[in-house]
Chains A and B, each alone.
Chain A
Amino acid sequence: MSIKNMTKEKNWSGQTMVSADHLLFEAPREKHFMTGSEVLKEAMKRCTVDASVSYPITPQSEAAHLIGELWAEGYVGTYFRGENEFGVMSSVAGCAMAGARTVTTTSGPGTLRAMENFPMWSGTRIPCQLVLMARGINSPLTIQPDNLEVSFLLETGCMIWYAENVQELFDMSIAAFIVAEMPDVHVPIITAVDGFFVSHTRESVMLPADDIALFPYNPYKAPLPPIDSEMPPGRFLRDPFVMKSNYISYATHASWQWEVRSAADRSRPYAKHFLKGLVHVTGDLDAEIVFVACGTASHQAKEANRELTKMGIKSKVVKLRTIRPFPHAELLEETKSAKYIFVPEFNIVGWLDKEVTQTLYGKSEAKIIGRPRVAGGMSMPVEAILKEVLENVKKGA
């Protein structure tokens, strides 16, 4: 396999290259039955991926080796196992800086080991994709699903999207490259799912044929030149900022931090198009009881909505698809009718509750209840959500 096999119509593995709109919205789809790990392989197979670097950690290992199989099958340009997650995320940075469409995966302790890399990724403006299959990070050792790790990633400057299920993981992980690579965005993207609940659960999923794929990444549209000695270098400085303690140095660092965040903000219209909205709303649109959730917690909230409907109680679910940038305007709009806002979460700290509270502070009369919260791998039974709702509404009445 060689990049030289690529033609105007076909990528190096012989797939016909199509627009993201065609791949995501127009191409006919067929029903399959697969896990989140398997569907990620199918998504990456259709993304004309140049590079991937992997490291084993439960529950993302299977996804990482399936991407390796894609390399062996001739779909991915280069692939190797790195030494640990810090090294892997650094190698991913190297791959992306050198002009590659790059993907990697990790979970829980791996995310924290790699942590120093993520603000470096965004500061370097590389459009790589990390598929995060969230797992607990506490001691004693746990491998159970828990999304506490996402709270550590919120201020890294990377975009964060959250998929609810296998289907959404497929569509999101394709759209993620397209949005991250937009020249006016061009920041890394983290596509998160709840480990095990999505990575290991087999579900029905609609997939387009595998003989079509995205056009390759064009690094020469990037806001920073790729490190490939093919175009003038962009980092030659007479006065490196690291050495200066003066206004120009401070202003440079400050304005770059603003720019990285503004770049992520500029992804909103693209994300709105490719994800069909930054939020997805189900249930009674004018309900006073509103669930705000992401990932599999939103699935459980939808179950609670169905049970409440049977009891004659109106409710609605606002599922957040993007966490960074945070969908402030959408959340304000969708909670206008709310008297009670429940934020069910799979972590102990309630990071999404904090985000919701901060967004609505001074702008909503609703009572925000950051419960139920489950952690350490516990499931979130619908009964737990119903109990919170019924107790609070009763108190309120």
Chain B
Amino acid sequence: MSVDIYKINPEFRDIMPKEILDLEDNATWEGEKRGINDLTDKKEILEEHSLCAGCPEAAALRYILASLPTPSETVIVNSTGCTSLMFPHIALHTVHSLFGNQNAVASGIKRVLDWRFPDKTKDVVVLAGDGATIDIGLDYTLQSFFRQEKITTICFDNEVYANTGGQESGSTPKGQVFKMAPKGKVFDKVPMWELAVTSGVQYSVKLTASAPKSVAKVVREAILIARELGPTYIHLYTPCILEIGLDANEGLWEMKEQDKDRFVSFKYVSPEAEEYLKNCKKEGIL
């Protein structure tokens, strides 16, 4: 449809909370120039979130929403965990159904949107944590890659089950002591960004959310590639400052540290995607 479906019925404007009016009046819904530069003076497509103060995941979510190429035609699929606390605040069509099934749900949605709207471009973006993407949902994540589903999967990797109180996940680094790993984790961090490549994605990037412009760039590239070619994957470090004992203002510092360590940049672009991105640049889409 268009941005019109997100507008408030004029007759209800006088009873709507101010922040909802702000959402309509000041959010960056459409336009070629929309992007993270808007974050300084516009409202994202997001109402007040309920994550912890200083949570890097909350910042990353804002960067992602500001970078969607066409928010009014984007469906967001979430999973259980800290992400399930954010999704109801996103002012787009969002789905939460179960823990770990996000890529299976997204596959169904994308296939049907392609069937029902053959002349439109509708983006389906999965936002889920590392537990949902790599542990309980690994089968569904990888199988959607095998099937070449045209969806973008973004994993918020905080290296822990944070929302349930700090348990070890497959994404936790080896040796780290967390609940359920009281003697320290005994196996290596699962290299999901590499598994994604082996499983057939067109684009796989590992990075931290330390540099907003880098996040914005990969989100836009990943969604554009998914539209045309097939699955794309973004592995984003958004540390749980609570579980690793940092203060609310230390998330950025932690991400910058990890830019040089576990989250040193990884980028895979398939030859077809490389070609496609070049064309996008030529046409001014990127």
Contacts and interface: CB of A to CB of B under 8 A. Distances in A.
Q: Are A and B interaction partners?
A: yes
B55 to A, nearest CB: 14
- Name which of A88, A116, A233 has the most chain B CB atoms within 10 A of its CB: A233
A238 B75 contact: no
Contacts of A83: 104, 139-140, 143
A228 B115 contact: no
Interface stretch (A89-97, A140-148, A167-175): A89-97
A183 interface: no
Interface stretch (A74-82, A300-308, A379-387): A74-82
Contact of A94 (B6, B94, B107): B107
A223 to B, nearest CB: 16
A233 B91 contact: yes
Given A240-B50, A242-B85, A243-B85, A230 B101 contact: no
B47 interface: yes
B111 A95 contact: yes
B109 A94 contact: yes
Interface stretch (B116-124, B193-201, B216-224, B241-249): B116-124
A236 interface: yes
A230 B105 contact: no
Nearest to A216: B116
Contact of B75 (A93, A95, A229, A240): A229
Contacts of B184: none
B174 interface: no
A51 B74 contact: no
Interface string B240-262: 00000000000000000000000
Contacts of B73: 229
B112 A99 contact: yes
A120 B105 CA distance: 12
A98 B109 contact: yes
Contact of A235 (B94, B113, B116, B118): B94
A82 B85 contact: no
A87 B140 contact: yes
Interface in B37-90: 47-48, 50, 72-75, 77, 84-85, 87-90
B177 interface: no
B112 A50 contact: yes
A50 B17 CA distance: 39
Nearest to B4: A232
B265 interface: no
B95 A97 contact: yes
A95 B89 CA distance: 23
B98 interface: yes
Interface in B96-136: 97-98, 101, 104-119, 122
A227 interface: yes
A245 to B, nearest CB: 13
A53 interface: yes
B190 interface: no
- Name which of B91, B107, B111, B122 has the most chain A CB atoms within 10 A of its CB: B111
B98 A229 contact: no
Interface string A97-112: 1111010000000000
A254 interface: no
Given A86-B101, A90-B98, A95 B118 contact: no
A119 to B, nearest CB: 10
Contacts of B92: 229, 233
A237 B88 contact: yes
A229 B1 contact: yes
A116 B147 CA distance: 23
A117 interface: yes
Nearest to B99: A116
Given A227-B75, A227-B93, A229-B93, A90 B101 contact: yes
A242 B119 CA distance: 37
- Name which of A92, A228, A237 has the most chain B CB atoms within 10 A of its CB: A228
B230 to A, nearest CB: 14
A242 B112 contact: no
B15 interface: no
Contacts of A230: 1, 5
Given A90-B140, A227-B75, A95 B104 contact: no
Given A90-B104, A91-B105, A243-B85, A236 B47 contact: yes
A3 interface: yes
Contact of B113 (A86, A93, A228, A236): A228
A310 interface: no
Given A78-B114, A86-B101, A120-B98, A94 B108 contact: yes
A84 interface: yes
Nearest to B92: A233
Contact of A124 (B91, B97, B140): B97
B118 A228 contact: no
A231 B93 CA distance: 9
Contacts of A98: 75, 108-109, 112-113, 116
B241 to A, nearest CB: 19
A129 to B, nearest CB: 15
B88 A2 contact: no
B104 A228 contact: no
Contact of B112 (A100, A124, A240): A100
A228 B117 contact: yes
B85 A80 contact: no
A229 B125 CA distance: 13
A4 interface: yes
Interface of A: 2-4, 50-51, 53, 77-78, 80, 82-84, 86-88, 90-100, 102, 116-117, 120, 124, 225, 227-233, 235-238, 240, 242-243
24 contacts: A3-B116, A50-B112, A77-B115, A77-B116, A78-B115, A83-B104, A83-B143, A91-B105, A92-B108, A94-B95, A95-B108, A95-B111, A97-B108, A116-B98, A117-B97, A117-B101, A120-B98, A225-B93, A228-B75, A228-B117, A229-B93, A236-B88, A238-B47, A240-B89
Given A3-B118, A99-B112, 4 more contacts: A94-B108, A116-B98, A227-B93, A242-B84
Interface of B: 1, 5-6, 17, 47-48, 50, 72-75, 77, 84-85, 87-95, 97-98, 101, 104-119, 122, 139-140, 143, 147
